[in-house]
């Protein structure tokens, strides 16, 4: 009974924040692994190799 009164107001918000941070971290890691970002230069090089774009004058 004493533990519930003492830890109750403090433990629940702390655990809530920890769980939210853990979920955000897990979701961010899975999303980043699914969608790797290509550098813009890599995209241009791939499109040039595939013939989608040509080297032109500026």
Tens digits of per-residue pLDDT, 20-48?
999 999 988 887 666 667 778 888 888 88
Number of H helices, E strands in the chain: 2, 0
What is the band of 14 on the pLDDT scale with cuts at 50, 70, 90? confident
- pLDDT (average), residues 40-58: 81
Measured distance CA(3)–CA(8) in Å, rounded: 8
pLDDT given at position 36: 66
Measured distance CA(29)–CA(21) in Å, rounded: 12
The share of the chain scoring above pLDDT 90, in percent, equals 16
């Amino acid at each position: 009974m004493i533990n519930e009164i003492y830890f109750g107001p403090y433990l629940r918000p702390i655990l809530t924040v920890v769980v939210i941070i853990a979920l955000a971290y897990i979701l961010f890691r899975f999303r980043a692994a699914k969608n790797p970002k290509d550098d813009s230069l890599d995209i241009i090089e791939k499109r040039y190799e595939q013939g989608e774009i040509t080297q032109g004058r500026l």
